[in-house]
């Protein structure tokens, strides 16, 4: 947990020993309390990296990695 200015940074690490090409991600932290809440997730898997922005209207992202 890090506090920076008006932001809270949460660092989660999930170690997955297998291989996958399909991921479904959900994030709705604080969106029920603040309509303008935005959550940024940086997804890393092997050499693949993607920044995903979650909002009140967008709480799910499906990734296919080839």
Tell me the pLDDT of the chain (66 aa) as tens digits.
Answer: 788 888 888 888 888 888 899 999 999 999 889 999 999 999 999 899 999 999 999 999 999 998
8 A C-beta contact, residue 27 and residue 41 = yes
Q: What does the pLDDT read at residue 66? A: 80
pTM over 0.85: no
3-state secondary structure at position 14: coil
Extended beta strands in the chain, E state:
2-4, 7-9, 22-26, 39-45, 48-54, 60-64
Residue 53's DSSP bridge partners are: 40
């Amino acid at each position: 947990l890090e506090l920076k200015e008006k932001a809270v940074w949460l660092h989660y690490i999930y170690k997955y020993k297998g291989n996958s090409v399909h991921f479904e991600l959900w994030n709705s932290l604080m969106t029920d309390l603040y309509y303008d809440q935005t959550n940024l997730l940086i997804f890393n898997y092997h050499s693949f990296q993607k920044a995903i922005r979650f909002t009140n209207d967008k709480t799910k992202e499906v990734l296919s990695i080839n």
